[in-house]
Amino acid sequence: MRNNIQEIPCGWSLRCHSLSTLILKRNQLVSIAESFFKHMHALQVLDLSHNSEIEELPNSISDLVKLTALLLAKCTSLTYVPPLGKLRALEELDLSGTGIREVPQGVDTLVNLKNLNMEDTNWLEISGGTLSRLSHLQSLGLRCTSVPVEIQVELEGLTKLEEFNVHLADVHSFNQIVKFVQHCEVPLDRYRLELADDMDFWDRSYSKSVRWMGKGCITNGGEEDVSFLPYDLEALMIRNQWFTSDCFCDVFPSFWGNARHLQFCAINNCRGIQSILSIFFSSTFSSSSRNEKEMEVDGDQLGESRNAPFQSVQILILIDLQDLRGLIGWKKLAGSELGFGVIAPHGTFSNLRNLEISSCPKMKSVFTPGLQLPHLEQITIRNCNEIEEIFDGARTTLSELNRLCLSCSLSEFESICEGMETSFFGNNYDMPFILPKLKRLELDSLAKLESICEGIMVCDSIKEINIIECPKLKRLPLFLPIDNNGQPSAPMTLEQINATSNDIDWWESLEWDLPNTKDVLRPFLTITRDYFK
């Protein structure tokens, strides 16, 4: 390995009758003599990977009948591999990153093949029937192949498949592959499904991922409806799409009812989405003499639900969503001016650790009332010019509501409202927003931001606060613990407060709940002038 070997010349034949493993990877091989493998009948592993100049392999490889692994990854110029039909013992064949245009002859007869990797073979065409007989296949890599049209028909017989990576060309193929993944008798250990028109980085820390990218339209109706994603999906990345539904979750309704494993979700440069999930409620009007206004709320919406949308999501990234108005959307009571803020299902976003929102110009606030975020560690909000508030302080107005009909029990409703009593009936200015694990808060270029929250932020783990060009922000609602002398003290974890502003008096103009707060926090403060504005 790594010896700059460029050629194995004609006539060379090593008489190594017992040799079982030969590794020549990362050389600069251009050619290998036909005679080279003639006396290597015991060879089991042949690794020629990362020889980018070699264009063809000698036919003598076809006679290495004891070969169990043939590794040719990253032989980018390789276009010819001899027939492999005699290699019945072959268990691993790695053709990834090669220049082959067709599957080597005889691969369909390799019934003992367990690992077949043909990823990054962008010129490869796979003919019908190639995969159907490989019943022992455990790992199949087809990502970035260019013609995956009929693959889904052949996968049904691959009952031992454990890992599957594929790049798909159209929505129909994607739907068929998802159905295959979803209905496997034994769930796959790993899969990466990609419907995209470009290459991109995969985060391999997640075992089960879907990446949907490229110019297109995602609908919630019609024959090409993507009505579900794999229920055990861990990572979802969607970019450069137009949604026909204004709610992201409405496009995949059956998935969100069963998504208990999704940990990472990134949505980038998609139009049409106004909310990530939506809460609906309807109204009826009583015929009694009191003409009571009655609101009926589905118990699944208000009651505690182990299937709450985004309950397991730990990282949520929303970038360049031009129509997004909020994480959660709802409709007002028909014919009423109540403005009742419907609460998300209990548990929604409850495992969220990292939230990043950037370039969403129509958002006015981020978090709706009632969300409990016990694990949130980092909040990053950038370039959202309409955001006025991070935590929506709009309290529920019940003065006109005579009757509230719930299909959940009173105890369930009370559990939802636990810790939120001031949000419903009290003074919002006193309401605490408890974020026990928040470590980093970054607010960047939010031209209309006036308030982080109306109450106070209790975040005992906070380490870093960055306020960059938020000229209208008038209050930093950080809760400070009180020492033995009754004086406020900085959180023990706090390390720095960084601010960028052209207003040299910005810090002095901030409003504080306690008069000594400004002086307590000043040692942690660094203010930088933005000379580019």
**What pLDDT score does 286 carry?**
36
- Is residue 85 domain-resident? yes
Q: What is the pLDDT of residues 112-145, one digit of tens each?
A: 999 999 988 878 878 777 888 898 999 999 876 5
Average pLDDT over residues 201-211: 81
Averaged confidence pLDDT in the chain: 81
Q: What angle do CA 107, 110, 111 make, to 5 degrees?
A: 140
- Is residue 345 domain-resident? no
- Is residue 37 domain-resident? yes
Residue 419 has pLDDT above 70, yes or no: no
Q: What is the pLDDT of residues 49-96, one digit of tens each?
A: 999 999 999 999 999 999 999 999 999 999 999 999 999 999 999 999
Return the SS3 of 396: coil
* Percentage of the residues of the chain whose pLDDT score is greater than 90: 47
Q: What is the pLDDT of residues 372-412, one digit of tens each?
A: 899 999 999 999 999 999 987 654 333 333 344 444 444 44
d(CA 530, CA 54): 55
Number of domain units in the chain:
1
Average pLDDT over residues 348-368: 94
Return the SS3 of 151: helix
Confidence of residue 249 (pLDDT cuts 50, 70, 90): confident
Q: What is the pLDDT of residues 287-321, one digit of tens each?
A: 333 333 333 333 333 334 556 778 899 999 999 99
Residue-range definition of the domain harbouring residue 73:
1-125
Q: What is the pLDDT of residues 28-50, one digit of tens each?
A: 999 999 999 999 999 999 999 99
What is the b/e burial string over 244-275, where b = at least 16 CB atoms within 10 angstroms of the residue's CB?
ebebbbbbbeebbbebebbbbbbbbebebbbb
Q: What is the pLDDT of residues 154-168, one digit of tens each?
A: 777 888 999 999 887
Instruction: Name residue 70's beta-bridge partners.
Output: 46, 93
What is the CATH number for 102?
A: 3.80.10.10
Q: What is the pLDDT of residues 484-527, one digit of tens each?
A: 887 889 999 999 999 987 766 788 888 888 878 888 999 999 98
- Is residue 98 domain-resident? yes
- Is residue 337 domain-resident? no
- Is residue 404 domain-resident? no
Residue that wins the pLDDT comparison between 414 and 421 = 414
Residue 453 has pLDDT above 60, yes or no: yes
**What pLDDT score does 344 carry?**
67
Confidence of residue 465 (pLDDT cuts 50, 70, 90): very high
- Is residue 154 domain-resident? no
Residue 270 has pLDDT above 90, yes or no: yes
Which DSSP string do the residues of 174-240 spell out, in sequence order?
Answer: HHHHHHHHHT-SS--SEEEEEE-SS-----TT-SEEEEEEEEEEE-SSSTT------TT--EEEEEE
- Is residue 475 domain-resident? no
Q: Tell me the pTM.
A: 0.83
* Percentage of the residues of the chain whose pLDDT score is greater than 70: 78
**What pLDDT score does 153 carry?**
54
d(CA 86, CA 63): 7
φ, ψ at 54 (rounded to 5°): -70, 135
Residue 418 has pLDDT above 60, yes or no: no
